[in-house]
Amino acid sequence: MPARKTIIVLGSTNTDMVVSGKKIPAPGETVSGGTFLMNPGGKGANQAVAVARLGGKTTKCVFVAKVGDDLFGRDTARRMKADGIDARLVVDAKEPSGTALILVDRNGQNCISVALGSNGTLSSEDVKPALEECLPAASALLMQLETPLKTVLFAAQAAKAAGIPVILNPAPAAKLPAKLYRCLEWITPNESEAELLTGVKVSDAKSAAQAASVLRKRGVKHILITMGTKGCWCSDTGKLHPGRKVRAVDCVAAGDTFNGAFVVALAEGMPCEEAVAFAQHAAAISVTRPGAQASVPYRKELQCGVC
């Protein structure tokens, strides 16, 4: 049997408190009649779960993050273990674990407010031991932007120096330093994130290509722009890949599922078009289910043709 691929996910872990109702309240408005769920989330943790579940027996996931010395932090460790994830969790004695308040409407659209907590104190010193141990055997490093940008840059530079591909999902949207672009093998913004990064309003394949051109000039080798129900545009194929049509229940973690699945596919050596289709299939399943990590499918579900 070939050796398992190791994918490192560095990022946030939150506890999501979700209210689902008919509509998302406008400022000053109260909407009654919703249902409440408390779910594990955080972009980093969501993507780690996606890597672990969708990588199946072919992939080992190492998750590097920071938690508070509290119930949420201990629950994160327990859940990561249950999913077979090698969690390298640093404990912050002062800050609580991250939390997110999420409102979801009847169409599955959502708005999210995040209290970073210990995610916001994740430092270069915190992640250095795990990176030094795990990077030599890694196939990829996947990151987002719910942890300090300085730490993201440090990890990206360490991975690049070790010859490990870096994939950045630039969410939530933020301006990036020039040094970071030059470390990236792939960047995977959505439409609004791509516009913030490049100044190009992305609405179709032509504008996606224009935004990608800007990012390529900054040093990124490959660009994939997700465009919701329109699908995603990939620089390697030079075209828009239509998404699967499903009835969305909850779009929380759909992008995280996509990113985790895409990196698994890349690590397995799938051609780009096949990797995109694999990631789109996983994301399509996730939006038909409520919750963040609870919605992430397993590899066998894709193989069985779910959705």
How many Å apart are CA 261 and CA 267, to the nearest integer? 10
Single out the residue of 264, 297, 263 nearest to residue 281, CA to CA: 297
Q: Which one-letter amino acid corresponds to residue 18?
A: V
φ/ψ (deg, to 5) at 154: -55, -45
Q: Which residues are catalytic, by number?
A: 256
Q: Report the relative pairing of strands 35-41 and 86-92 from DSSP bridges.
A: unpaired
Cβ neighbours of 24 (radius 10 Å): 16
How many Å apart are CA 284 and CA 193, to the nearest integer? 21
How many Å apart are CA 300 and CA 159, to the nearest integer? 31
Residues 6 or more apart in contact with residue 132 via CB below 8 angstroms: none
CA within 13 Å, CB half, 20: 17
**In contact, 167 and 143? CB cutoff 8 Å:** yes
